[in-house]
A and B are shown apart, each in its own frame.
Chain A
């Protein structure tokens, strides 16, 4: 079983749509959770950390379910500029490398 699994998509949605991405991780001892965004041929950039209580940043909402080892990202009112690959990222221990999922590709069209 892969350490971090995501639905690769692609998700093709119109502007203004709400879209949700899911992710599961295998290591129950994982401590930190993130969503990164990667544009074509660029490095990943941190979108948001994910906390147990759930957290929101503008149009983006992240949820964590430790019991199910499940992470989600909800994007409301999609913009064209949201088109990118969204990476689910897990860190098992502070100071160690991040573990990336394969990413979910989102394409927002007008």
Chain B
């Protein structure tokens, strides 16, 4: 069973700050997902990555497969980035996801 750990659990920052959220997992995987959960509860997939780095707007995700670690970065953070960010890893075979506990990010104007 894959254990997924995220840090920090809560993060409060000023608008414009560079944000880093970390995720580590215990069992080798084919890819890792970063998800965003809005205050209303809905989940949106941000990234799925299996190696290196991906960038989408102000969001950057990196993964180190050997070290079983991934990071999500937000540049020039904005209050609308306030949400819970969740990393999740799939199982081989049917790709069910095991989720981390999430990082609650609050960006203060």
Are A and B co-members of a single complex?
no
Q: Give chain B's interface residues, CB within 8 Å of chain A.
A: none
Q: Give chain A's interface residues, CB within 8 Å of chain B.
A: none
